Chains A and B, each alone.
Chain A
Amino acid sequence: MSDAVSVVNGASFDGAVQVKDAGLVGMVTLRGDFTSDSLAKAVKSAVGLALPEARQVKQGAKGGVAWMSPDELLLFCEYDTADALVAKLNKALAGEHFLAVNVSDARASFTLKGAGVREVIAKGSPADLSPEAFRQGEIRRSRLGQVAVAFWLSGPDTMELVCFRSVGSFVYDWLCVAAEKGTLPEYFNAG
């Protein structure tokens, strides 16, 4: 099999903030009934984390889990282990109404680092990115330019962003232009 590469093959850009291709990330979409105990147990055994509250994202030693909608979770793991994770979920949830799919190759991930990450995203998204409204631990599904993205803060100055791979290079280019030096309004960091 050919070697898997991420969408812009590890490219990075240093501007007002650093934009970096986050490489290959294992991602599994899990849809199901959040009130079911076996779903919570399956997620716990898969990534070692409890089900997140609405719009929350959690990262642990074994992986991560993000709340995508009232019946959808996105699980994060090592790229190579995503298929095994799906098999594990299929086994644990057999007989229930659920869906688990390895979407690793259908997604692109980027990491933005720097004090101005909120402002870079705010240039293209209608989401309220002010520090009071958007806090660490919250995942926001929104749009950037004209494409759907999801982003969350993994640290005070680190933004993780996930989008469809088909628009991955567009999003990377978009982020690089938005992160050009001297173009940030410094609105959120003022005062």
Chain B
Amino acid sequence: MLILTCPNCGIAADETELSAGGEAHLTRFGAGSSDADFENYLFMRKNARGVHFERWRHSYGCGKWFHAARCTTTLEVFGTYPAQTTEPPAELIEKIKQKCPDFEGFSK
């Protein structure tokens, strides 16, 4: 069972109160982009084994989106941060690096 702290309302919300929104920090390619970029945006996901950045929505609570960093193998949650950002905060990356020496940092 995951428990993520919603940065919008501060509640430590149980997984059943949240909706998963898939991988975070995707770059959108829409009309006018190349087929390869569009395919990459639409279908290709990291499906990471280890550190993963995700989008979540506190759907039964405040209804707001946020980001979470967690490990897909141990389910350890490294932290949550607001949705209004295009990459994870530096201090969170630093924290993850200390906990997981193999983690090479965030890449798009």
Contact = CB atoms under 8 A, between A and B. Distances in A.
B42 interface: no
A69 B64 contact: yes
Given A141-B60, A142-B60, A55 B10 contact: yes
A70 interface: yes
Interface residues of B, number: 14
Interface string B37-67: 0000000000000000000000011111000
B5 interface: no
Contacts, number: 35
B100 interface: no
Interface string B2-33: 00000011111110110000000000000000
A113 interface: no
Given A68-B62, A69-B64, A70-B64, A142 B17 contact: yes
Interface of A: 54-55, 68-70, 72, 126, 128, 140-143, 148
22 contacts: A54-B10, A55-B9, A55-B10, A55-B11, A69-B8, A69-B61, A69-B62, A69-B63, A70-B8, A70-B64, A72-B62, A126-B13, A126-B14, A126-B17, A140-B11, A141-B9, A141-B62, A142-B17, A142-B61, A143-B16, A143-B17, A148-B60
